[in-house]
Chain A
Amino acid sequence: MRIYAIAVFLFLYVPIGIIVLFSFNAGRHASELRGLSVQWYGKALSNPFVGDAFVTSLIVAFSVAILSSLMGTAAALALQRLKGTMRVLFDGLIYISVMIPGIVIGIATLVALVTVFDFLNPLLASIWPEGTKPPKLHMGYVSVIAAHTLFTMSLVIILVRARIAGMDRSLIEASMDLYATPWRTFYQVTLPQIYPAILAGFLLSFTFSFDDFIISFFVAGANTTLPIYIFSSIRRGITPEVNAIGTMVLAVSLILLMTAQFFLRARTNR
C-alpha cells in the first residue's frame, strides 16, 4: 500500500521535476539540457507581456471569485425559500451550467456576443452625437469574467446549499424567538455556519478561473491571460521560458499555501 502511494507520488512529481529542471536549461531548445543557468527566469521576468498576462489573470480570477461567492451565496440563501416551478427552474439552470463543457460555454458566448455587438455597434454609432467617437463594444475583461462566473457561481450555490442543508436550524429558530432582526440572525448565526462553504467556493472559483484556458481563448478578445500566453509560447516554439513561468507559478502557490498554513497554526496555537 505504501509502495503504491510512493509510486503515485512519483508519477505526480516526476513531470513537475522535469519542468523545474529544464527551467534552468542554458540551451535555447527545451528538449536538450545544455548546462544550467537562470537566464530564462530573467527573460520571463523582464518580459512585460508575462507581467501583463499575470496581472490580467489575477484581475479576472479575483473578480470571478468575488462575484461568484457573493451572487452564489445570495442565490443559495434565497433558493431555500423558493418552492414549486421556480425552484425546479433554478435547479435545472444550475445543473445545466455546471454540466455544459467549458468549450461550449466559450463558443456559445463568443457567437452570441459577436452577434449582439454586430447589431449594437452600428446602432450606438448612429445615435452617438456628431464629432465624438462612439464607443465600440468588444470582447475583453467583462466577457471573460462573465463567462467564467456562470460556472463558478453555480459551483458556489451547490456548495453553500449543501452546507445550509446540514446546518443546525434550531439555532436560527432560537435567534428568531429572541426577536433578533433577520439581518442580525444572518450575520451572527447563519453566516458563521456557512462561511467554510463560501470560502471553499471562493478558492475553487479563483483556481478555476486562473487556470482556465478554453473559455478565455474564445472570449478574452485582446486580453491575454497567463494560460493563453503559455499556450502561444508553446506554439511559438518551446523555449525554457515556459518552464520558468510554470515553476514561478508553482512557487507562488506554494508560498501562499505555507503562509496560510503558518497563520492558521499561529491562530490555533494561541
Chain B
Amino acid sequence: MGAGSKPNQWLTVALLTPTSIWFLFLLILPLIVILVFSFGERAAVGGYAGGFTFEQYGNLPSRLKAFQNTMLIAPLGTLLSLIVAYPLAYYLALRVSRRFKLLLLVLVIVPFWTSLLVRTYAWIFILGGRGIPTLLEFIGIEGVRLINTPGAVLVGIVYGYLPLMVFPIFVSLEKLDKSLLEASSDLGGSPFKTFMQITLPLSMPGIATGCMLVFILLMGEFLIPAFLGGGKVFFIGNALVDLFLQSRNWPFGAAVSVTLVVIMLITVSLYMRMMMRSKTGRDESLM
C-alpha cells in the first residue's frame, strides 16, 4: 500500500474488480470482436475470414424489411401493452381492497413463471386453423387467417410482456398519495381532470420503466415472431439467428448486430433524455 493512500480506496477497487472483469471479458471484448468481424469477409464454407471491407455494411439494405418490421412492431407492441396494462394496474392499485390486492397482483405475475416458450406456443393453437378460425366458422365467418400475421405477433407480445408492464405502473400508482386525489375531487375536479392532472403525471416513472423494459426486450425478440409469425413476420432477431445458424455468414451477422446496438443506444438515450427533461422520469426509474 503506497504511503498516504487510504485503505478505503483499496476497498473500492476490490469491490469493483469482479464487475470490471465481467465488463471487460463479457461486454467490451465480445463487442470489439463483433466490431472487427463486421469488417471481415465470409469464409468459403461459412464463418469468418479476415479482411477489411465495408461490404457487410453496404449489404445492410437487403435486411431493410427486418429492420422496418422490428422498428414498427416493437414500439407498437410496447404501446399496446401499455394500453392493456394501465387500466389493470390502476384498478389493482386504487380500486381493490387491501385483502385482494396482493392476491390479484400475484395472479398477474404467475403466468410470467411459466416458460415464455410454452405460453407463446399455446397461442399457436388458439390462433391456428383449429382454434379461433374454427369457432368463427360456426358463426358463419369463413376463411379468416390469424396465425403468421403481424397481428398474431402483436397478440403474442402483449401476452408475453404484460406482467412486465403492469408491475412498475402498479408500484408507482401504489405510492401515489391518495389525499391528493381526494383533494382534487373535493375541489370539484372531474374524474377525468383528476386523472389527467394528477394520476397520470405521477405514474409516469412507472410507465417509463415499463415501456423501456418491454421495448428493449422486443428489439431483440426472436421467439414470438418465430412461433407466431411463421417466418413471414421477420424481426432483426430472426434475421440474426438465420445469419448465424443457416447461412453461417458471421461478418454480415456481426454488421447487423453492430447496427442493432447503435440503433438501441440512440433510441434509448433519446428516450431517457426526453424523460429526464420532462422531470418525471428520474434516473432510478429505470428499474
Direct contact of A and B (CB under 8 A): yes
Query: Does B180 make an interface contact (CB < 8 A)?
Result: no
Contact B110 A254 (CB under 8 A): yes
Within 8 Å by CB of A71, from B18, B117, B159, B287, lies B18
Contact B34 A234 (CB under 8 A): no
Contacts of A110 in B (CB 8 A): 244
What total count of A-B pairs have CB within 8 Å? 211
Contact B115 A71 (CB under 8 A): no
Query: Does A31 make an interface contact (CB < 8 A)?
Result: yes
Interface positions, chain A 61-111, Cβ under 8 Å from B, are 70-72, 74-75, 77-79, 81-82, 90, 93, 95-105, 107-111
Query: Does A174 make an interface contact (CB < 8 A)?
Result: no
Contact A78 B121 (CB under 8 A): no
Within 8 Å by CB of A108, from B31, B90, B287, lies B31
Q: How far is the CB of B233 from chain A (nearest CB, A)?
A: 16
In this complex, what residue of B is CB-closest to A212? B116
Query: Does B130 make an interface contact (CB < 8 A)?
Result: yes
Contact A107 B26 (CB under 8 A): no
Contact A159 B216 (CB under 8 A): no
Query: Does A213 make an interface contact (CB < 8 A)?
Result: yes
Contact A246 B118 (CB under 8 A): yes
Contact B115 A16 (CB under 8 A): no
11 example contacts (A-B, Cβ-Cβ < 8 A) are as follows A4-B87, A11-B84, A16-B111, A71-B18, A74-B16, A99-B264, A104-B220, A111-B30, A150-B22, A158-B286, A226-B115
Number of interface residues of A (CB under 8 A): 81
Contacts of B159 in A (CB 8 A): 11-12, 15
In this complex, what residue of B is CB-closest to A228? B117
Contacts of A93 in B (CB 8 A): 23, 27-28
Contact B37 A111 (CB under 8 A): yes
Contacts of A72 in B (CB 8 A): 19
In this complex, what residue of A is CB-closest to B84? A8
Also in contact, A249 and B257, with CB within 8 A (given A78-B15, A111-B30): no
Looking at B31, B122, B124, B253, the one whose CB has the most chain A CB atoms below 10 A away is B122
Q: Please measure, in the bound complex, the distance between the C-alpha atom of A131 and the C-alpha atom of B159, giving whole angstroms.
A: 57
Contacts of A249 in B (CB 8 A): 113-115, 118
In this complex, what residue of A is CB-closest to B24? A93
Contact B106 A100 (CB under 8 A): no
Query: Does A146 make an interface contact (CB < 8 A)?
Result: yes
Q: Is the contact region of chain B dominated by helix, strand, or loop, or is it mixed?
A: helix
Contact A1 B91 (CB under 8 A): yes
Query: Does B97 make an interface contact (CB < 8 A)?
Result: no
Interface positions, chain A 190-247, Cβ under 8 Å from B, are 207, 211, 213-214, 218, 226-227, 230-231, 234, 238, 242-243, 245-246
Contacts of B281 in A (CB 8 A): none
In this complex, what residue of B is CB-closest to A245? B118
In this complex, what residue of B is CB-closest to A250? B114
Contact B254 A111 (CB under 8 A): yes
Contacts of A98 in B (CB 8 A): 216, 286
Interface positions, chain B 15-74, Cβ under 8 Å from A, are 15-16, 18-19, 22-23, 25-31, 33-34, 37, 48
Contact A81 B12 (CB under 8 A): yes
Q: How far is the CB of B12 from chain A (nearest CB, A)?
A: 5
Q: Please measure, in the bound complex, the distance between the C-alpha atom of A103 and the C-alpha atom of B30, giving whole angstroms.
A: 13
Contact A1 B115 (CB under 8 A): no
Contact A112 B29 (CB under 8 A): yes
Contact B257 A107 (CB under 8 A): yes
Contact B33 A115 (CB under 8 A): yes
Also in contact, A18 and B162, with CB within 8 A (given A5-B88, A31-B130, A226-B115): no
Also in contact, A81 and B8, with CB within 8 A (given A107-B257, A246-B114): yes
Also in contact, A8 and B88, with CB within 8 A (given A111-B33, A150-B22, A213-B223): yes
Q: How far is the CB of B213 from chain A (nearest CB, A)?
A: 9
Contact A18 B122 (CB under 8 A): yes
Contacts of A234 in B (CB 8 A): 117, 121, 227
Query: Does B77 make an interface contact (CB < 8 A)?
Result: no
Contact A153 B220 (CB under 8 A): no
Contact A18 B19 (CB under 8 A): no
Q: How far is the CB of A17 from chain B (nearest CB, A)?
A: 9
Contacts of A157 in B (CB 8 A): 19
- Contact digits for B202-236, partner A, Cβ 8 Å, 1 yes 0 no: 00000000000000110110110001000000000
Query: Does A165 make an interface contact (CB < 8 A)?
Result: yes
Contact A103 B220 (CB under 8 A): yes
Contacts of B286 in A (CB 8 A): 98, 158
In this complex, what residue of A is CB-closest to B111? A12
Within 8 Å by CB of A78, from B16, B34, B241, lies B16
Interface positions, chain B 230-272, Cβ under 8 Å from A, are 237, 240-241, 244, 250, 253-254, 257, 260-261, 264-265, 268
Q: Please measure, in the bound complex, the distance between the C-alpha atom of A98 and the C-alpha atom of B90, giving whole angstroms.
A: 28
Within 8 Å by CB of A214, from B87, B128, B223, lies B223
Contact B241 A103 (CB under 8 A): yes
Contacts of B48 in A (CB 8 A): 111, 115
In this complex, what residue of B is CB-closest to A104? B257
In this complex, what residue of B is CB-closest to A160? B287
